[in-house]
Amino acid sequence: MTTGDSWRERRRALLRDDPGAVEIAARLLDEMGTEERDDDEIEAEHRASRLAAVRAYEPDARLDEELQLRLTGPDTEGGALRFQWGDALLNPVENAISIAAGTPVQLELTGISAGSTLVHARPVPSVAASEPQAMDAPATSATSTGMQMLTRLLAALEAEQDVREWSRLFDAVDTLARALSKYELDLGVTWYGADGDMRRAQLTERGRRYVERLRETSPRDQEITISGRITELRESGWVKVKTGTARNAPAYDVHFEEPEALLRMRPGLGDNVHFRVRFRQHLDAVGSARSTEYTYLGPAAEQPSLPLES
């Protein structure tokens, strides 16, 4: 995320009232070149340079990891974190990072800054990392791995891009987006890694509206055969069919749109049946199935049931 002006321009503004200084600064900046970089790149380079300098004396040195969450909205100017915001937002953030990292991640609050509400947090050190025998700590922590994926997804949502690459993370971010919308908040995240890396992303109203559109579903139908024995009957037109004798064998709730058709069959518990059914999945734009339905179409020849597509 760029800030709209560079550090060079801010330096010129500070020296605007000193003609001599402005001329010297302009000549120096011209000699340095006119490359424009955003603040993220500059700060990341400064952190990496600082780490490199420390490692000249301590080869195993690492920077402290920190996560900053900036909340902006109608009620954030006081720089305070309301309890209801914390309850609704902090756990979803931690959960999203854990899913992105592929392992549980725990975070702890270290402070809150004024202005717009800026929450400071850090990963809770693992027991293994604090033990003397853990000499070779991984180059990238689980939290850092998760933040790399999460910031990429947030950037894609803000740009309204294809996010199917991160489908397993979508539900967690969806939960976060719903919480932000409830309190009319925008979220900015900044991650400072132990290796000097810095990543920044945001989830604003634009990104949240895109998430909402991605939640919309469309049906996909296919005809399959379900064979097994009846383990449950309901007068409202539902039959549970278990496809095997093992305790963990798949079981399907088959709906009869006309309950009278089920009554005419006079089925009994334990009866073996072979149903042709319409297998309907309601898929969102990310490709995840939000619901599934099995609707009775008619009797089928006695044959093994077909495997269902996930």
How does pLDDT run across 260-308, given as a tens digit for each residue? 888 888 888 888 999 999 999 999 999 888 899 999 998 887 655 445 5
Q: Could you give the residue range(s) of every CATH 2.40.50.140 domain in the chain?
A: 218-299
| Average predicted confidence (pLDDT) for the chain | 82
DSSP 289: E
User: Which residues have CB under 8 Å from 233's CB, separation 6+?
Assistant: 239, 240, 262, 267, 269
pLDDT confidence tier of residue 5, bands split at 50, 70 and 90? very low
CATH topology classification for 218-299? OB fold (Dihydrolipoamide Acetyltransferase, E2P) (2.40.50)
Which 3 state secondary structure label does DSSP give 158? Answer: helix
139 pLDDT band, cuts 50/70/90, is low
Query: Which pLDDT belongs to residue 166?
Result: 94
Calculate mean pLDDT across residues 114-135.
70
Q: What's the pLDDT score for residue 16?
A: 62
Q: How confident is the model at residue 40 (pLDDT cuts 50, 70, 90)?
A: low
pLDDT of 194-215, one tens digit each?
Answer: 887 889 999 999 999 999 999 9
pLDDT tens-digit map of 87-107: 899 999 999 999 999 999 999
Q: Could you read off the pLDDT of 69-92 as tens digits, one per residue?
A: 999 998 887 778 889 998 899 999
Give the dihedral of Cα atoms 57, 60, 61, 65; nearest 10 deg. Answer: 170
The tokens for 178 are 């719903």
Residue 55: pLDDT over 80: no
Q: DSSP letter at 309? A: P
> What SS3 state is found at 162?
coil
3-state class (DSSP) for residue 113: strand
pLDDT computed for residue 302 by the predictor: 63
Rounded to 10 degrees, the C-alpha dihedral 13/17/23/26 comes to 0
Q: Let me know: does 92 contact 185? Beta carbons within 8 Å.
A: no
Higher pLDDT, 4 or 53: 53
